[in-house]
Amino acid sequence: MTKINTPEEALKKLKARRKYMNEYMRKKRANGIHKKVPKYIRKQTKESIDMSFDARALYDASRTCERLRQEEYKSFRKGQAKLWKTIEDQAVQLRFNVDLIRKFKQAQEATMEKLIDADAEIAELQHRIQKLENEKLN
């Protein structure tokens, strides 16, 4: 600890100390420590808190509450609308996919019928060829 010889040095030290404390408290309040006591609190003890409100403060608090409630409701509705839109889009995509699957199955069934018909026709033609060859030989 240094010795202070003149009042100017004492004033200089005091200003430096105040500056340091102001900066220190600003940092602590920013971190949530040593918060300032609101204006509406008159007296605060371990057992009780004495508060006083004026009409303007109550009106401001109620308006703030109403504004926050409306913003929350809007964001809720916005999210809900987004979810419904997603559900509708997925339902449309599902219907489209079901239609594609149905068309694919129908195309496969039609192809199978054509293959069966072609196999039957090939078998019939082979039978005819065999019959004609047998007739030529006889």
pTM to 2 decimals? 0.42
Clarify whether residues 48 and 31 are in a common domain: no
Looking at the fold, whether 21 and 84 belong to one and the same domain comes out as no
Q: For 70-104, write each residue's pLDDT tens digit.
A: 999 999 999 999 999 999 999 999 999 999 999 99
Asked if residue 74 and residue 107 are part of one domain, the reply reads yes
| Domain match, 64 and 82 both | yes
Report pLDDT for 51. 73
pLDDT of residue 68: 96
The parent domain of residue 32 ranges over: 7-36
Model confidence at 30, in pLDDT bands (50, 70, 90)?
confident
Say how many domains are in the chain: 2
Q: Are residues 22 and 59 in the same domain?
A: no
| DSSP-derived secondary structure letter, 41 | E
- The answer to whether residue 126 sits within a structural domain is yes
Both 64 and 132 in a single domain?
yes
Residue 78: CB atoms within 10 A of its CB come to: 10
Output the pLDDT for position 34: 64
pLDDT at 37: 64
Whether residues 120 and 70 share a domain: the answer is yes
Residue 2 domain-assigned (yes or no): no
Which long-range contacts (C-beta less than 8 Å, at least 24 apart) are formed by 2-7? none
Q: Are residues 59 and 69 in the same domain?
A: yes
Question: Is position 1 within any domain?
Answer: no
* Whole-number Cα distances in Å, 127 to 41, 118, 119, 122: 109, 14, 12, 8
Beta carbons of 44 and 37 less than 8 angstroms apart: yes
Question: What pLDDT, on the 0 to 100 scale, is given for residue 48?
Answer: 80
Mean pLDDT of 30-49: 72
Integer Cα distance of 42 and 88 in angstroms:
56
31 lies in the same domain as 42: no
Q: What number of other Cβ atoms are within 10 A of residue 40's Cβ?
A: 14
Question: Do 49 and 26 share a structural domain?
Answer: no
Same-domain pairing of 21 and 88? no
Q: Do 43 and 101 lie in a common domain? A: yes
The mean pLDDT of 100-113, rounded to a whole number, is 95
